[in-house]
Structure 1
Amino acid sequence: MDGSISTSISSSRSSPLRFSHNPPTPRPLLSPTPRLTPASAGRQPSARLRAISPSPSPSPTTPQQRQQEPMEAFGFDALKETFSVDVAAAEARPLNVPLAAPFTIASSRLEAVSNVAVRVELSSGAVGWGEAPVLPSVTAEDQPAALAAVARACELLVAARSAPLGAVLQDVADALPGHAFASARAGVEMAVIDAVANSIRIPLWRLFGGASNTVTTDITIPIVTPNEAAQLAAKYRGQGFQTLKLKVGKNLNSDIEVLKAIRLVHPDCSFILDANEGYTANQAIEVLDRLNEMGVTPVLFEQPVHRDDWEGLREVSIAAMEKYRVAVAADESCRGLLDAQKIIHGNLAHVINIKLAKLGVLGGLEVIDAARKAGIALMIGGMVETRIAMGFAGHLAAGLGCFSFIDLDTPLLLSEDPVYGGYEGILRENPAHLQFPFVNVLLYSYILQL
């Protein structure tokens, strides 16, 4: 597409955008208030356990047009073998951003983002950015631990000789192993991959498969009073959101009252329920029973029970699908490939939620591959992150095109936007999407307060 494209979140209605290979000079996002947020249409689950067909994100072209488009002769896997990485500089920086309002879920309450930004510069001058989200109830690291871990990895990157991308990423994995360092590892992996993509001017969505340059996200309502939930739902309805992700799990009766209040102001919305481990199996099934009495059927029930309650997860999954055709997603229960294999082989859930902060980028790709081979549907989400991490996850989701549920809304919950450049949200007639106008979502990005 010729010409420049605005880097701000825009509320203008427009036709789908494609990536520009001539990115404009970035400018700061002036408004401190989160603006337009994209919407997502709900999807009807299949009737059989593990039988939801992952549907790719909407593409701005028809399948016939996509088949006629020339594709790059290489992708991420090939690049891991062919691209030599020589890191000239790398550093970790605190990334602190207040939230527009406290974000309460069943397992925690957050008033500000205290994450870690990662900057990697190659000897060619290409720069990449990553973000290590910190949410102690899910990630193993707090901000000081994540800063220290990322700093160690950055020192190793700078000291190392030039090596293929795959070898460099393996060195990062060796330095930051397992779930204990997953968030820090994800931030460093993002920054390295981003720098490489920028150096060859290939957009990440192309690098990860090229299925689309657009994704559609839901919007989250945290645990609040029924009146507050109704106000948020009315606002999001006006902004074009069709799917609301509702945080539940602290108090069953309060959760039902909140759902009733939302239905009054947004009667046609689709619901995703996210209990964040807050219910017992019996409570989770009771919630579905009571919603059914109200005539409400969620499109997804995310992590209804504690992460280690495997029998409870299986029980809810079977009851939810057999009684109400509701899919159940494993989120906190999936902290790595072994967990994913347990979920798949044990037939414990219909959907696996991919979060880079709990899996890392390479770890996330491993789980995605295992789920796709097994016919398990996929969701992609985040912790509470800025547009750095959400932009990367958006590129990944758009490029792969295999996610049935997209939950990449957290930058819109922040009271400030610290990022230059990146994606933009555009309200279309039906529905609204996240668009990625740059060659790379983080090309020329800069963190203002650092």
Structure 2
Amino acid sequence: GEAPVLPSVTAEDQPAALAAVGRACAALVAARSAPLGAVLQDVADALPGHAFASARAGVEMAVIDAVANSIRIPLWRLFGGASNTVTTDITIPIVTPNEAAQLAAKYRGQGFQTLKLKVGKNLNSDIEVLKAIRLVHPDCSFILDANEGYTANQAIEVLDRLNEMGVTPVLFEQPVHRDDWEGLREVSIAAMEKYRVAVAADESCRGLHDAQKIIHGNLAHVINIKLAKLGVLGALEVIDAARKAGVALMIGGMVETRIAMGFAGHLAAGLGCFSFIDLDTPLLLSEDPVYGGYEG
């Protein structure tokens, strides 16, 4: 039957993505005897830009995984072999203080040391959630992810109020709207100068052009790499640009299963260049449709 239209995340919907994958597969058939680099470039040409990023990423992952299997080496070694393990944070969504405390206690028992907190809907509620978590997991590290939810002034106020509580996040991710470049710069300067807190650009970086703008303008201290946002080749381009400029890197995901997150984990382990690793989304799914794959 006709595929349902799903809510758009990267400007894609399911019918458009499936049609795009069909075009990419046609390109793969035509280029099947070409070198890997040329094959991946044909895929990128068939699925250009941010509009087809996750579809492009899926095809690129399949091709690269097939190559690794054909030469019988694990993906982490193909990507450089720095390590064969990674340690991820775990996310607490926007919930009540009581619910957040229950989750934090659970994750503490499971050994998670870094908690990523979704904030940005209501400043006062966010502070109450942070207080509740701190009571049950007093030695945890915090990553704050505002998902574009604050103004620059609100973001700085959050850091001020946390400082009054004796809490300093290890990272403040995407505090302002993705197009608020001046606000991003303002928060980055204040966060580092006042509290030595790094600020990460996530939604603000949707390709190499955005990454170069962030790097050259000193707009953020960290760039968050997501394969479903950039594609694999696109991600490698941004990673290379950031490393050459001395900008730190984070790796995260959208809401992928262990298939895509496993690939991202191999990339992160193999490259060994990520200061922050946020590959927890399969752990948050109510049902895991994947058999095999990586082990926790």
The verdict on a shared fold, with TM-score over 0.5 as the criterion, is yes
Q: Deviations over 1:122-152 (max 9, x none)?
A: xxxxxxxx99999956412122222221122
Report SS of the residue matched to 2:139. Answer: coil
Contact 1:131 1:190 in 2 (8 A): no
Report SS of the residue matched to 2:130. Answer: helix
| Unmatched runs of 5 consecutive residues or more in structure 1 | 1-129, 426-450
Percent identical: 98
Q: Deviations over 1:2-26 (max 9, x none)?
A: xxxxxxxxxxxxxxxxxxxxxxxxx
Please give the alpha-carbon distance, in whole angstroms, between the structure 2 residues aligned to 1:367 and 1:132. 33
Equivalence for 2:183 = 312
Contact 1:219 1:407 in 2 (8 A): yes
Q: Deviations over 1:363-392 (max 9, x none)?
A: 100000000000000000000110000000
Distance 1:310 1:370, change over 3 A: same
Q: Deviations over 1:76-135 (max 9, x none)?
A: xxxxxxxxxxxxxxxxxxxxxxxxxxxxxxxxxxxxxxxxxxxxxxxxxxxxxx999999
Please give the alpha-carbon distance, in whole angstroms, between the structure 2 residues aligned to 1:132 and 1:377. 40
Equivalence for 2:229 = 358
Distance 1:199 1:132, change over 3 A: farther
Distance 1:377 1:135, change over 3 A: farther
Contact 1:134 1:141 in 2 (8 A): no
Contact 1:244 1:269 in 2 (8 A): yes
190, 200, 215: which is aligned to 2:86?
A: 215
Contact 2:200 2:220 in 1 (8 A): yes
Please give the alpha-carbon distance, in whole angstroms, between the structure 2 residues aligned to 1:148 and 1:366. 26
Please give the alpha-carbon distance, in whole angstroms, between the structure 1 residues aligned to 2:5 and 2:272. 27
Select the structure that is richer in helix. 2
Distance 1:156 1:131, change over 3 A: farther
Please give the alpha-carbon distance, in whole angstroms, between the structure 1 residues aligned to 2:192 and 2:5. 33
| Unmatched runs of 5 consecutive residues or more in structure 2 | none
Q: Deviations over 1:40-87 (max 9, x none)?
A: xxxxxxxxxxxxxxxxxxxxxxxxxxxxxxxxxxxxxxxxxxxxxxxx
Q: Which moved more, 1:236-245 or 1:144-153?
A: 144-153
Distance 1:137 1:404, change over 3 A: farther
Distance 1:182 1:288, change over 3 A: same
Select the structure that is richer in strand. 1
Distance 1:411 1:240, change over 3 A: same
Please give the alpha-carbon distance, in whole angstroms, between the structure 2 residues aligned to 1:285 and 1:150. 43
Distance 1:293 1:137, change over 3 A: farther
Query: Deviation at 1:416?
Result: 1.8
Report SS of the residue matched to 1:163. Answer: coil
Contact 1:133 1:383 in 2 (8 A): no
Equivalence for 1:151 = 22
Contact 2:198 2:221 in 1 (8 A): yes
Aligned-CA RMSD value: 2.5
Distance 1:420 1:343, change over 3 A: same
Q: Does 1:340 align with 2:203?
A: no
Query: Deviation at 1:156?
Result: 2.8
Please give the alpha-carbon distance, in whole angstroms, between the structure 1 residues aligned to 2:110 and 2:208. 37
Distance 1:198 1:401, change over 3 A: same
- Which one has the largest radius of gyration? 1
